[in-house]
DNA sequence: CATCCAATGTAAAAATGGCGTAAACGCCGC
DNA sequence: GCGGCGTTTACGCCATTTTTACATTGGATG
Protein backbone atom coordinates (compact mmCIF):
# COMPACT_ATOMS: atom_id res chain seq x y z
CA UNK A 1 0.00 0.00 0.00
CA UNK A 2 1.52 3.23 -1.14
CA UNK A 3 1.11 6.28 1.08
CA UNK A 4 0.30 8.68 -1.72
CA UNK A 5 -1.50 11.86 -0.82
CA UNK A 6 -5.20 11.29 -0.32
CA UNK A 7 -7.31 12.70 -3.12
CA UNK A 8 -10.16 14.79 -1.71
CA UNK A 9 -12.95 16.33 -3.81
CA UNK A 10 -14.27 19.63 -2.43
CA UNK A 11 -17.76 20.33 -3.77
CA UNK A 12 -18.70 23.88 -2.82
CA UNK A 13 -20.15 26.67 -4.91
CA UNK A 14 -18.70 29.63 -3.00
CA UNK A 15 -15.15 30.05 -4.32
CA UNK A 16 -13.99 31.66 -1.10
CA UNK A 17 -14.95 28.77 1.15
CA UNK A 18 -13.85 26.27 -1.47
CA UNK A 19 -10.38 27.73 -1.54
CA UNK A 20 -10.26 28.02 2.23
CA UNK A 21 -11.10 24.36 2.70
CA UNK A 22 -8.78 23.29 -0.08
CA UNK A 23 -5.87 25.18 1.43
CA UNK A 24 -6.47 23.58 4.79
CA UNK A 25 -6.57 20.13 3.21
CA UNK A 26 -3.38 20.81 1.30
CA UNK A 27 -1.60 21.80 4.50
CA UNK A 28 -2.89 18.53 5.92
CA UNK A 29 -1.12 16.59 3.20
CA UNK A 30 -4.07 15.96 0.93
CA UNK A 31 -4.56 16.71 -2.74
CA UNK A 32 -7.74 18.77 -2.96
CA UNK A 33 -9.74 18.86 -6.18
CA UNK A 34 -12.14 21.78 -6.40
CA UNK A 35 -15.61 21.44 -7.90
CA UNK A 36 -18.10 24.29 -8.09
CA UNK A 37 -21.14 22.25 -9.07
CA UNK A 38 -22.56 18.88 -8.19
CA UNK A 39 -22.05 17.55 -11.70
CA UNK A 40 -18.40 18.59 -11.66
CA UNK A 41 -18.08 16.87 -8.33
CA UNK A 42 -19.49 13.59 -9.58
CA UNK A 43 -17.29 13.74 -12.63
CA UNK A 44 -14.21 14.27 -10.49
CA UNK A 45 -15.05 11.28 -8.32
CA UNK A 46 -15.22 9.18 -11.47
CA UNK A 47 -12.07 10.66 -12.88
CA UNK A 48 -9.68 9.05 -10.43
CA UNK A 49 -9.17 7.18 -7.21
CA UNK A 50 -10.95 9.27 -4.59
CA UNK A 51 -10.47 9.00 -0.83
CA UNK A 52 -12.97 11.54 0.46
CA UNK A 53 -15.69 13.91 -0.69
CA UNK A 54 -16.29 17.15 1.23
CA UNK A 55 -19.71 18.38 0.20
CA UNK A 56 -21.58 21.61 0.78
CA UNK A 57 -25.30 20.89 0.84
CA UNK A 58 -26.22 24.20 -0.79
CA UNK A 59 -25.39 23.65 -4.43
CA UNK A 60 -26.87 25.45 -7.43
CA UNK A 61 -27.52 22.57 -9.80
CA UNK A 62 -28.60 19.72 -7.52
CA UNK A 63 -29.67 19.27 -3.93
CA UNK A 64 -27.04 17.82 -1.65
CA UNK A 65 -29.29 14.90 -0.79
CA UNK A 66 -29.62 14.02 -4.45
CA UNK A 67 -25.87 14.19 -4.80
CA UNK A 68 -25.38 11.73 -1.98
CA UNK A 69 -28.03 9.37 -3.26
CA UNK A 70 -26.55 9.37 -6.73
CA UNK A 71 -22.99 8.85 -5.55
CA UNK A 72 -23.94 6.10 -3.14
CA UNK A 73 -25.42 3.92 -5.85
CA UNK A 74 -22.00 3.23 -7.28
CA UNK A 75 -19.37 4.37 -4.79
CA UNK A 76 -18.68 3.96 -1.11
CA UNK A 77 -16.23 6.81 -0.83
CA UNK A 78 -16.58 8.61 2.53
CA UNK A 79 -18.66 11.79 2.46
CA UNK A 80 -18.24 14.69 4.89
CA UNK A 81 -21.03 17.25 4.80
CA UNK A 82 -20.51 20.95 5.33
CA UNK A 83 -23.69 22.91 5.75
CA UNK A 84 -24.97 26.27 6.84
CA UNK A 85 -28.06 24.54 8.16
CA UNK A 86 -27.71 23.14 11.65
CA UNK A 87 -31.23 21.77 12.07
CA UNK A 88 -31.47 18.21 13.29
CA UNK A 89 -33.69 17.10 10.40
CA UNK A 90 -31.10 18.22 7.88
CA UNK A 91 -28.41 16.23 9.65
CA UNK A 92 -30.58 13.13 9.90
CA UNK A 93 -31.58 13.27 6.24
CA UNK A 94 -28.00 13.63 5.05
CA UNK A 95 -26.59 10.93 7.31
CA UNK A 96 -29.36 8.47 6.46
CA UNK A 97 -28.95 9.03 2.76
CA UNK A 98 -25.36 7.91 3.00
CA UNK A 99 -23.17 10.66 4.39
CA UNK A 100 -20.57 9.69 6.98
CA UNK A 101 -20.26 12.92 8.94
CA UNK A 102 -21.95 16.29 9.19
CA UNK A 103 -20.32 19.53 10.22
CA UNK A 104 -22.39 22.70 10.61
CA UNK A 105 -21.04 26.12 9.71
CA UNK A 106 -19.40 27.96 11.20
CA UNK A 107 -16.82 25.32 11.98
CA UNK A 108 -13.30 25.34 13.27
CA UNK A 109 -10.68 24.32 10.76
CA UNK A 110 -9.06 22.16 13.40
CA UNK A 111 -12.21 20.12 13.93
CA UNK A 112 -12.76 19.81 10.19
CA UNK A 113 -9.29 18.40 9.70
CA UNK A 114 -9.64 16.06 12.66
CA UNK A 115 -12.85 14.65 11.20
CA UNK A 116 -11.19 14.35 7.81
CA UNK A 117 -8.35 12.39 9.40
CA UNK A 118 -10.81 10.09 11.16
CA UNK A 119 -12.65 9.33 7.93
CA UNK A 120 -9.48 8.79 5.94
CA UNK A 121 -8.14 6.48 8.64
CA UNK A 122 -11.31 4.37 8.48
CA UNK A 123 -11.32 4.30 4.73
CA UNK A 124 -7.73 3.17 4.55
CA UNK A 125 -8.61 0.22 6.77
CA UNK A 126 -11.63 -0.60 4.64
CA UNK A 127 -9.32 -0.82 1.66
CA UNK A 128 -7.88 -4.03 2.99
CA UNK A 129 -11.38 -5.41 3.43
CA UNK A 130 -11.59 -5.96 -0.36
CA UNK A 131 -13.26 -3.30 -2.39
CA UNK A 132 -12.15 -5.17 -5.49
CA UNK A 133 -14.34 -7.43 -7.52
CA UNK A 134 -13.25 -10.46 -9.45
CA UNK A 135 -15.11 -12.34 -12.15
CA UNK A 136 -13.76 -14.52 -14.89
CA UNK A 137 -10.27 -13.28 -15.66
CA UNK A 138 -11.26 -9.72 -14.82
CA UNK A 139 -10.23 -7.84 -11.72
CA UNK A 140 -11.83 -4.50 -10.81
CA UNK A 141 -10.64 -2.26 -7.99
CA UNK A 142 -13.31 0.40 -7.73
CA UNK A 143 -11.59 2.47 -5.08
CA UNK A 144 -8.50 2.82 -7.23
CA UNK A 145 -10.43 2.94 -10.46
CA UNK A 146 -8.37 0.17 -11.98
CA UNK A 147 -9.79 -2.60 -14.11
CA UNK A 148 -7.58 -5.32 -15.49
CA UNK A 149 -8.10 -8.48 -17.46
CA UNK A 150 -5.76 -11.45 -17.35
CA UNK A 151 -3.33 -9.26 -15.43
CA UNK A 152 -3.35 -6.70 -18.21
CA UNK A 153 -4.62 -3.32 -17.07
CA UNK A 154 -7.20 -1.90 -19.45
CA UNK A 155 -8.68 1.52 -20.01
CA UNK A 156 -12.33 2.34 -19.50
CA UNK A 157 -13.95 5.63 -20.46
CA UNK A 158 -15.96 7.52 -17.87
CA UNK A 159 -19.30 6.19 -19.02
CA UNK A 160 -18.00 2.66 -19.34
CA UNK A 161 -16.58 2.88 -15.84
CA UNK A 162 -19.69 4.32 -14.23
CA UNK A 163 -21.83 1.72 -15.92
CA UNK A 164 -19.60 -1.05 -14.67
CA UNK A 165 -19.48 0.42 -11.17
CA UNK A 166 -23.25 0.62 -10.90
CA UNK A 167 -23.59 -2.96 -12.05
CA UNK A 168 -20.89 -4.23 -9.68
CA UNK A 169 -22.44 -2.37 -6.77
CA UNK A 170 -25.70 -4.21 -7.44
CA UNK A 171 -24.39 -7.63 -8.30
CA UNK A 172 -26.94 -10.17 -9.46
CA UNK A 173 -29.77 -7.70 -9.18
CA UNK A 174 -31.75 -6.69 -12.20
CA UNK A 175 -31.25 -3.03 -13.06
CA UNK A 176 -33.89 -1.43 -15.26
CA UNK A 177 -32.98 0.63 -18.27
CA UNK A 178 -34.38 3.70 -16.57
CA UNK A 179 -32.40 3.11 -13.43
CA UNK A 180 -29.12 2.57 -15.23
CA UNK A 181 -29.67 5.59 -17.44
CA UNK A 182 -30.33 7.85 -14.49
CA UNK A 183 -27.35 6.56 -12.54
CA UNK A 184 -24.90 6.90 -15.38
CA UNK A 185 -26.22 9.81 -17.40
CA UNK A 186 -28.00 11.65 -14.60
CA UNK A 187 -31.61 12.60 -13.96
CA UNK A 188 -33.61 13.43 -17.03
CA UNK A 189 -32.03 10.77 -19.21
CA UNK A 190 -34.48 8.07 -18.28
CA UNK A 191 -35.68 7.21 -21.74
CA UNK A 192 -33.03 6.77 -24.39
CA UNK A 193 -32.24 3.19 -23.51
CA UNK A 194 -30.35 2.87 -26.74
CA UNK A 195 -27.25 4.40 -25.20
CA UNK A 196 -27.18 1.47 -22.87
CA UNK A 197 -26.97 -1.09 -25.64
CA UNK A 198 -23.98 0.66 -27.11
CA UNK A 199 -22.04 0.87 -23.87
CA UNK A 200 -23.06 -2.55 -22.66
CA UNK A 201 -21.71 -3.82 -25.97
CA UNK A 202 -18.41 -2.02 -25.37
CA UNK A 203 -18.12 -3.37 -21.85
CA UNK A 204 -18.76 -6.87 -23.11
CA UNK A 205 -16.18 -6.34 -25.81
CA UNK A 206 -13.62 -5.40 -23.20
CA UNK A 207 -14.55 -7.70 -20.33
CA UNK A 208 -16.22 -10.82 -21.65
CA UNK A 209 -14.13 -13.65 -23.06
CA UNK A 210 -16.81 -14.24 -25.69
CA UNK A 211 -18.79 -11.01 -26.18
CA UNK A 212 -21.34 -12.93 -28.24
CA UNK A 213 -22.11 -15.21 -25.32
CA UNK A 214 -21.78 -12.97 -22.28
CA UNK A 215 -21.24 -14.77 -19.00
CA UNK A 216 -21.50 -11.85 -16.60
CA UNK A 217 -23.20 -8.85 -18.18
CA UNK A 218 -26.56 -10.40 -18.89
CA UNK A 219 -29.53 -8.85 -20.61
CA UNK A 220 -33.01 -9.16 -19.17
CA UNK A 221 -35.08 -8.58 -22.23
CA UNK A 222 -37.65 -5.84 -21.90
CA UNK A 223 -36.43 -4.95 -18.44
CA UNK A 224 -32.76 -4.08 -18.27
CA UNK A 225 -29.45 -5.73 -17.45
CA UNK A 226 -27.98 -7.81 -14.66
CA UNK A 227 -24.43 -8.48 -13.54
CA UNK A 228 -23.59 -12.05 -12.60
CA UNK A 229 -20.26 -12.55 -10.74
CA UNK B 1 -33.12 -7.83 5.79
CA UNK B 2 -33.28 -9.72 9.01
CA UNK B 3 -29.75 -9.54 10.39
CA UNK B 4 -29.07 -9.86 14.09
CA UNK B 5 -29.48 -6.79 16.25
CA UNK B 6 -26.29 -4.76 16.46
CA UNK B 7 -24.59 -5.01 19.84
CA UNK B 8 -23.80 -1.53 21.17
CA UNK B 9 -21.85 -0.81 24.37
CA UNK B 10 -22.91 2.38 26.16
CA UNK B 11 -20.13 3.62 28.45
CA UNK B 12 -21.52 6.43 30.61
CA UNK B 13 -21.32 7.03 34.33
CA UNK B 14 -24.54 8.96 34.82
CA UNK B 15 -27.29 6.33 35.06
CA UNK B 16 -29.92 8.72 33.79
CA UNK B 17 -28.19 9.52 30.53
CA UNK B 18 -27.04 5.92 30.19
CA UNK B 19 -30.60 4.68 30.36
CA UNK B 20 -31.83 7.42 28.08
CA UNK B 21 -29.31 6.53 25.39
CA UNK B 22 -29.91 2.82 25.83
CA UNK B 23 -33.66 3.21 25.42
CA UNK B 24 -33.18 5.21 22.25
CA UNK B 25 -30.85 2.56 20.86
CA UNK B 26 -33.28 -0.19 21.74
CA UNK B 27 -36.06 1.60 19.88
CA UNK B 28 -33.66 1.80 16.98
CA UNK B 29 -33.36 -1.97 16.92
CA UNK B 30 -30.03 -2.33 18.70
CA UNK B 31 -29.09 -4.36 21.74
CA UNK B 32 -27.58 -1.86 24.19
CA UNK B 33 -25.16 -3.05 26.87
CA UNK B 34 -24.78 -0.58 29.73
CA UNK B 35 -21.42 0.06 31.37
CA UNK B 36 -20.91 2.57 34.19
CA UNK B 37 -17.15 2.60 34.16
CA UNK B 38 -14.41 2.47 31.58
CA UNK B 39 -13.21 -0.90 32.84
CA UNK B 40 -16.68 -2.40 32.57
CA UNK B 41 -16.91 -0.99 29.09
CA UNK B 42 -13.67 -2.58 27.96
CA UNK B 43 -14.74 -5.87 29.51
CA UNK B 44 -18.00 -5.80 27.64
CA UNK B 45 -16.27 -5.16 24.34
CA UNK B 46 -14.16 -8.23 25.01
CA UNK B 47 -17.17 -10.26 26.06
CA UNK B 48 -18.79 -10.53 22.66
CA UNK B 49 -18.93 -9.41 19.08
CA UNK B 50 -19.41 -5.66 19.35
CA UNK B 51 -20.68 -3.43 16.57
CA UNK B 52 -20.34 0.01 18.17
CA UNK B 53 -19.15 1.77 21.33
CA UNK B 54 -20.89 4.92 22.53
CA UNK B 55 -18.55 6.59 24.97
CA UNK B 56 -18.93 9.48 27.37
CA UNK B 57 -15.60 11.23 27.80
CA UNK B 58 -16.23 12.12 31.47
CA UNK B 59 -15.62 8.84 33.26
CA UNK B 60 -14.59 8.37 36.88
CA UNK B 61 -11.94 5.71 36.57
CA UNK B 62 -10.16 6.59 33.35
CA UNK B 63 -10.03 9.52 30.94
CA UNK B 64 -11.92 9.01 27.73
CA UNK B 65 -8.77 9.50 25.71
CA UNK B 66 -7.07 6.70 27.58
CA UNK B 67 -10.09 4.49 26.96
CA UNK B 68 -9.87 5.08 23.24
CA UNK B 69 -6.13 4.52 23.14
CA UNK B 70 -6.45 1.30 25.08
CA UNK B 71 -9.30 -0.02 22.97
CA UNK B 72 -7.62 0.91 19.72
CA UNK B 73 -4.57 -1.17 20.48
CA UNK B 74 -6.57 -4.33 19.94
CA UNK B 75 -9.94 -3.45 18.38
CA UNK B 76 -11.18 -1.43 15.46
CA UNK B 77 -14.81 -1.27 16.56
CA UNK B 78 -16.40 2.11 15.70
CA UNK B 79 -16.44 4.63 18.56
CA UNK B 80 -18.95 7.46 18.92
CA UNK B 81 -18.06 10.05 21.54
CA UNK B 82 -20.59 11.86 23.70
CA UNK B 83 -19.19 14.74 25.66
CA UNK B 84 -20.24 17.75 27.69
CA UNK B 85 -17.15 19.50 26.43
CA UNK B 86 -17.60 21.20 23.09
CA UNK B 87 -14.16 22.77 22.81
CA UNK B 88 -12.40 22.16 19.54
CA UNK B 89 -9.25 20.79 21.16
CA UNK B 90 -11.26 18.08 22.91
CA UNK B 91 -12.82 16.98 19.64
CA UNK B 92 -9.51 16.96 17.83
CA UNK B 93 -7.83 14.93 20.54
CA UNK B 94 -10.58 12.31 20.64
CA UNK B 95 -10.86 11.95 16.90
CA UNK B 96 -7.11 11.75 16.43
CA UNK B 97 -6.76 9.13 19.12
CA UNK B 98 -9.11 6.85 17.23
CA UNK B 99 -12.73 7.91 17.69
CA UNK B 100 -14.95 7.94 14.63
CA UNK B 101 -17.42 10.64 15.59
CA UNK B 102 -17.92 13.26 18.27
CA UNK B 103 -21.25 14.60 19.48
CA UNK B 104 -21.36 17.42 22.02
CA UNK B 105 -24.03 17.64 24.71
CA UNK B 106 -26.70 18.66 24.63
CA UNK B 107 -27.56 16.62 21.57
CA UNK B 108 -30.79 15.68 19.84
CA UNK B 109 -31.70 12.03 20.06
CA UNK B 110 -32.54 12.05 16.37
CA UNK B 111 -29.05 13.19 15.41
CA UNK B 112 -27.49 10.67 17.77
CA UNK B 113 -29.38 7.82 16.16
CA UNK B 114 -28.64 9.06 12.66
CA UNK B 115 -24.92 9.08 13.45
CA UNK B 116 -25.22 5.63 14.99
CA UNK B 117 -26.87 4.37 11.83
CA UNK B 118 -24.14 5.92 9.68
CA UNK B 119 -21.42 4.18 11.68
CA UNK B 120 -23.21 0.83 11.75
CA UNK B 121 -23.84 1.04 8.03
CA UNK B 122 -20.11 1.38 7.41
CA UNK B 123 -19.18 -1.40 9.72
CA UNK B 124 -21.53 -4.24 8.89
CA UNK B 125 -20.73 -6.52 6.02
CA UNK B 126 -23.43 -6.72 3.45
CA UNK B 127 -25.61 -9.69 4.21
CA UNK B 128 -28.83 -8.60 2.63
CA UNK B 129 -30.88 -11.73 2.29
CA UNK B 130 -33.76 -11.08 -0.03
CA UNK B 131 -37.18 -12.64 0.46
CA UNK B 132 -37.49 -15.67 -1.77
CA UNK B 133 -40.28 -18.13 -2.34
CA UNK B 134 -39.78 -21.85 -2.52
CA UNK B 135 -42.06 -24.59 -3.79
CA UNK B 136 -41.19 -28.02 -5.07
CA UNK B 137 -37.66 -27.80 -6.45
CA UNK B 138 -38.21 -24.23 -7.56
CA UNK B 139 -36.71 -21.19 -5.92
CA UNK B 140 -37.85 -17.66 -6.81
CA UNK B 141 -36.08 -14.52 -5.67
CA UNK B 142 -38.44 -11.76 -6.61
CA UNK B 143 -36.24 -8.84 -5.56
CA UNK B 144 -33.40 -10.09 -7.74
CA UNK B 145 -35.74 -11.31 -10.42
CA UNK B 146 -34.11 -14.71 -10.46
CA UNK B 147 -35.95 -18.00 -10.70
CA UNK B 148 -34.15 -21.32 -10.52
CA UNK B 149 -35.19 -24.93 -10.53
CA UNK B 150 -33.15 -27.70 -8.94
CA UNK B 151 -30.36 -25.17 -8.50
CA UNK B 152 -30.36 -24.46 -12.21
CA UNK B 153 -31.14 -20.86 -13.00
CA UNK B 154 -33.78 -20.56 -15.68
CA UNK B 155 -34.95 -17.77 -17.91
CA UNK B 156 -38.44 -16.31 -17.80
CA UNK B 157 -39.77 -13.77 -20.26
CA UNK B 158 -41.33 -10.59 -19.00
CA UNK B 159 -44.92 -11.84 -19.14
CA UNK B 160 -44.02 -15.19 -17.66
CA UNK B 161 -42.26 -13.45 -14.81
CA UNK B 162 -45.00 -10.97 -14.08
CA UNK B 163 -47.59 -13.70 -14.12
CA UNK B 164 -45.58 -15.74 -11.68
CA UNK B 165 -44.97 -12.75 -9.45
CA UNK B 166 -48.68 -11.96 -9.23
CA UNK B 167 -49.50 -15.54 -8.37
CA UNK B 168 -46.77 -15.78 -5.75
CA UNK B 169 -47.90 -12.54 -4.17
CA UNK B 170 -51.37 -14.02 -3.73
CA UNK B 171 -50.50 -17.55 -2.74
CA UNK B 172 -53.37 -20.01 -2.44
CA UNK B 173 -55.90 -17.35 -3.36
CA UNK B 174 -58.11 -17.74 -6.39
CA UNK B 175 -57.30 -15.14 -9.03
CA UNK B 176 -59.90 -14.45 -11.69
CA UNK B 177 -59.00 -14.28 -15.35
CA UNK B 178 -59.91 -10.62 -15.38
CA UNK B 179 -57.73 -9.86 -12.39
CA UNK B 180 -54.70 -11.67 -13.74
CA UNK B 181 -55.06 -10.08 -17.15
CA UNK B 182 -55.20 -6.61 -15.70
CA UNK B 183 -52.24 -7.21 -13.41
CA UNK B 184 -50.01 -8.60 -16.13
CA UNK B 185 -51.19 -6.91 -19.32
CA UNK B 186 -52.48 -3.73 -17.73
CA UNK B 187 -55.89 -2.07 -17.62
CA UNK B 188 -58.01 -2.58 -20.69
CA UNK B 189 -56.98 -6.16 -21.26
CA UNK B 190 -59.61 -7.70 -19.07
CA UNK B 191 -61.20 -10.02 -21.58
CA UNK B 192 -58.85 -12.05 -23.71
CA UNK B 193 -58.40 -14.81 -21.18
CA UNK B 194 -56.87 -16.94 -23.86
CA UNK B 195 -53.48 -15.33 -23.39
CA UNK B 196 -53.54 -16.64 -19.87
CA UNK B 197 -53.85 -20.26 -20.95
CA UNK B 198 -50.84 -19.91 -23.18
CA UNK B 199 -48.60 -18.38 -20.56
CA UNK B 200 -49.86 -20.55 -17.72
CA UNK B 201 -48.95 -23.49 -19.92
CA UNK B 202 -45.42 -22.13 -20.41
CA UNK B 203 -44.99 -21.54 -16.69
CA UNK B 204 -46.09 -25.08 -15.97
CA UNK B 205 -43.70 -26.34 -18.62
CA UNK B 206 -40.83 -24.57 -16.92
CA UNK B 207 -41.74 -24.93 -13.26
CA UNK B 208 -43.82 -28.05 -12.74
CA UNK B 209 -42.14 -31.44 -12.56
CA UNK B 210 -45.09 -32.91 -14.49
CA UNK B 211 -46.74 -30.14 -16.52
CA UNK B 212 -49.66 -32.45 -17.27
CA UNK B 213 -50.43 -32.86 -13.59
CA UNK B 214 -49.65 -29.44 -12.12
CA UNK B 215 -49.00 -29.39 -8.40
CA UNK B 216 -48.77 -25.67 -7.81
CA UNK B 217 -50.29 -23.70 -10.66
CA UNK B 218 -53.85 -24.96 -10.44
CA UNK B 219 -56.81 -24.07 -12.63
CA UNK B 220 -60.14 -23.15 -11.12
CA UNK B 221 -62.47 -23.95 -13.96
CA UNK B 222 -64.72 -21.11 -15.01
CA UNK B 223 -63.08 -18.70 -12.59
CA UNK B 224 -59.33 -18.40 -12.99
CA UNK B 225 -56.16 -19.84 -11.48
CA UNK B 226 -54.71 -20.43 -8.06
CA UNK B 227 -51.15 -20.90 -6.83
CA UNK B 228 -50.55 -23.55 -4.21
CA UNK B 229 -47.14 -23.53 -2.43
C1' DC C 1 -73.81 -44.48 -20.42
C1' DA C 2 -73.16 -41.93 -24.60
C1' DT C 3 -73.16 -37.45 -26.28
C1' DC C 4 -72.41 -32.68 -26.55
C1' DC C 5 -70.15 -28.44 -25.77
C1' DA C 6 -67.91 -24.94 -23.52
C1' DA C 7 -63.81 -24.27 -21.24
C1' DT C 8 -59.21 -25.50 -21.29
C1' DG C 9 -54.69 -27.08 -23.12
C1' DT C 10 -51.27 -27.58 -26.98
C1' DA C 11 -48.94 -26.51 -31.07
C1' DA C 12 -47.27 -23.83 -34.56
C1' DA C 13 -47.16 -19.72 -37.78
C1' DA C 14 -46.99 -14.53 -38.10
C1' DA C 15 -46.00 -9.96 -36.48
C1' DT C 16 -43.92 -6.97 -33.37
C1' DG C 17 -40.39 -4.68 -31.27
C1' DG C 18 -36.24 -5.03 -28.54
C1' DC C 19 -31.53 -5.94 -29.15
C1' DG C 20 -26.83 -5.99 -31.01
C1' DT C 21 -23.59 -4.28 -34.41
C1' DA C 22 -21.47 -1.07 -37.32
C1' DA C 23 -20.40 3.27 -38.91
C1' DA C 24 -20.72 8.19 -39.41
C1' DC C 25 -20.89 12.64 -37.04
C1' DG C 26 -19.53 16.31 -33.81
C1' DC C 27 -17.18 17.99 -29.94
C1' DC C 28 -13.15 19.03 -27.28
C1' DG C 29 -8.37 18.63 -25.47
C1' DC C 30 -3.76 17.90 -26.79
C1' DG D 1 -5.33 18.76 -37.25
C1' DC D 2 -5.48 14.56 -34.89
C1' DG D 3 -7.22 11.24 -31.76
C1' DG D 4 -10.32 9.94 -28.23
C1' DC D 5 -14.88 9.96 -26.77
C1' DG D 6 -19.83 10.72 -26.62
C1' DT D 7 -23.71 11.02 -29.60
C1' DT D 8 -26.55 10.00 -33.41
C1' DT D 9 -28.29 7.24 -37.24
C1' DA D 10 -29.13 3.04 -39.79
C1' DC D 11 -30.08 -1.77 -40.27
C1' DG D 12 -30.46 -6.88 -39.73
C1' DC D 13 -31.49 -10.38 -36.50
C1' DC D 14 -34.03 -12.82 -33.31
C1' DA D 15 -36.63 -13.40 -28.81
C1' DT D 16 -40.98 -12.48 -27.49
C1' DT D 17 -45.53 -11.63 -28.19
C1' DT D 18 -49.59 -12.15 -30.63
C1' DT D 19 -52.44 -14.46 -33.69
C1' DT D 20 -54.43 -18.53 -35.53
C1' DA D 21 -55.71 -23.23 -35.56
C1' DC D 22 -56.71 -27.52 -33.54
C1' DA D 23 -56.86 -31.19 -29.77
C1' DT D 24 -58.38 -32.38 -25.18
C1' DT D 25 -60.70 -32.32 -20.98
C1' DG D 26 -64.65 -32.71 -18.03
C1' DG D 27 -69.14 -31.97 -16.57
C1' DA D 28 -74.09 -31.53 -17.69
C1' DT D 29 -77.79 -33.68 -19.92
C1' DG D 30 -80.94 -36.74 -21.92
Domain end (from B127, B147, B165): B127
Q: Give the number of domains in chain A.
A: 2
- Distance (Å, whole) CA B126 – CA B3: 10
Q: Is residue A2 in a domain?
A: no
- Range(s) of the domain holding residue A215: 132-227
Contact of B127 with A105, CB cutoff 8 Å: no
Among B28, B112, B145, the strongest candidate for a mutation testing the A interface, having the largest count of A CBs within 10 A, is B145
- Res. B2: pLDDT tops 70: no
Distance (Å) from the alpha carbon of B40 to chain A's nearest alpha carbon:
25
Contact assessment for residue B11 and residue B56, using Cβ atoms and an 8 Å cutoff: yes
Task: Please enumerate, as own/partner, the contacts of A123-131 that have beta carbons within 8 Å and a separation of 24 or more.
Answer: A123/A51, A123/A52, A123/A77, A123/A78, A124/A1, A125/B76, A126/A76, A126/B122, A127/A1, A131/A76
Taking 3-state DSSP, the helix, strand and coil percentages for chain B, each rounded to the nearest 5, stand at: 40, 20, 40
Please name the residue whose C-alpha is nearest to the C1' of nucleotide D15: A221
Which residues 6+ apart lie within 8 Å of A199 measured at CB? A159, A160, A163, A184
User: What confidence score (pLDDT) does residue B1 get?
Assistant: 45
CA nearest to B22, candidates B33, B14, B36: B33
The interaxial angle of helices B88-97 and B64-72, nearest 10 deg, is 20
pLDDT-derived band of residue B143, with 50, 70 and 90 as boundaries? confident
- Angstrom distance (rounded) from CA A129 to CA A132: 9
Please tell me whether residues B196 and B219 are part of one structural domain.
Answer: yes
Do A87 and A147 reside in the same domain of the chain? Answer: no
Where among B99, B127, B155 does a domain terminate?
Answer: B127
Whether the predicted pLDDT of B126 surpasses 60: no
Alpha-carbon gap, residue A153 to A144, rounded angstroms: 12
Q: Quick check: A154 CB within 7 A of strand D?
A: no
Residues A110 and A189 in one domain: no
Domain shared by B116 and B163, yes or no? no
How does strand B217-220 pair with strand B174-176?
A: unpaired
Which of B127, B151, B173 is at the close of a domain? B127
For residues A150 and A64, state if they share a domain.
Answer: no
CB B74 within 8 A of CB B31: no
Residue count (chain B):
229
Mean pLDDT of A172-200: 89
What percent of chain A shows pLDDT beyond 90?
A: 63
Residue B112 domain-assigned (yes or no):
yes
Chains A and B form CB pairs within 8 A to the count of: 68
Residue A202 lies in a domain: yes
Q: Is the same domain home to B110 and B219? A: no
> A223: Cβ under 7 Å from strand D?
no
Highest mean pLDDT among A81-90, A185-194, B139-148: A81-90
Which CATH number goes with the domain that contains A185? 1.10.10.10
Pick from A72, A111, A131 the residue to mutate for testing the B interface (most B CBs within 10 Å): A111
- Which 108-137 positions of B have CB less than 7 A from strand D? none
Instruction: Please tell me whether residues B138 and B118 are part of one structural domain.
Output: no
Confidence (pLDDT) at A3: 58
Long-range contacts of B21-28 (CB under 8 A, 24+ apart): B21/B54, B21/B82, B21/B112, B24/B109, B24/B112, B24/B113, B25/B54, B25/B113, B25/B116, B28/B113, B28/B116, B28/B117
User: What SS3 string covers B32-74?
Assistant: EEEECCHHHHHHHHHHCCCCEEEEECCCCCCCHHHHHHHHHCC
Give the mean pLDDT of chain A.
Answer: 90
pLDDT 10s digits, A96-113: 999 999 999 999 999 999
Whole-number Å distance, CA B178 to C1' C10? 22
pLDDT bucket at A1, cuts 50 / 70 / 90 = very low
For the domain that residue A13 is a member of, what is the CATH number?
A: 3.40.50.2300
Short-list B151, B149, B186, CA closest to B166: B186
Does residue B1 fall inside a structural domain? no
Residue B129's pLDDT band (cuts 50, 70, 90): low
Q: Is the peptide bond before B74 cis (omega within 30 degrees of 0)?
A: no
φ, ψ of residue B150 in degrees (nearest 5)? 55, 40
Could you tell me the pTM of the whole model? 0.78
Q: How many CA atoms lie within 13 A of A110 on its CB side?
A: 10
Alpha-carbon distance of B108 to A90, in angstroms, equals: 12
Give the pLDDT confidence of A45-71 residue by residue, as tens digits: 877 788 999 999 988 888 899 899 888
3-state DSSP percent of chain A in helix, strand and coil, to 5: 45, 20, 35
**B75 domain-assigned:** yes
> Are B153 and B220 in a shared domain?
yes
H or E stretch at B26: helix B15-28
Same domain, A39 and A52: yes
B204/B108 same-domain check: no
Quick check: A13 pLDDT over 70? yes
Q: Which residue of B108, B113, B158 is in closest CB contact with A221?
A: B158
Q: Assess whether B90 and B20 both reside in one domain.
A: yes
> How many whole angstroms separate alpha carbon A225 and alpha carbon A199?
12
Q: Which residue is nearest to nucleotide C6 (CA to C1')?
A: B222
Which pLDDT score, from 0 to 100, does residue A187 have? 76
Residues 6+ apart with CB under 8 A from B160: B199, B202, B203, B206
The answer to whether residues B164 and B220 belong to one domain is yes
Q: Is residue B2 part of a domain?
A: no
Amino acid sequence: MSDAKPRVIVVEDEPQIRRFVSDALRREGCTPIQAGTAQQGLDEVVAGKTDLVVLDLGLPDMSGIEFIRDLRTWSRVPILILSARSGEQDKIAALDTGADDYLAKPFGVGELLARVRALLRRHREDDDASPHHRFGDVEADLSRRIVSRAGQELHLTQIEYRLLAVMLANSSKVLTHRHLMQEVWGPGHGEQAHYLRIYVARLRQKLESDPTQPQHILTETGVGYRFQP
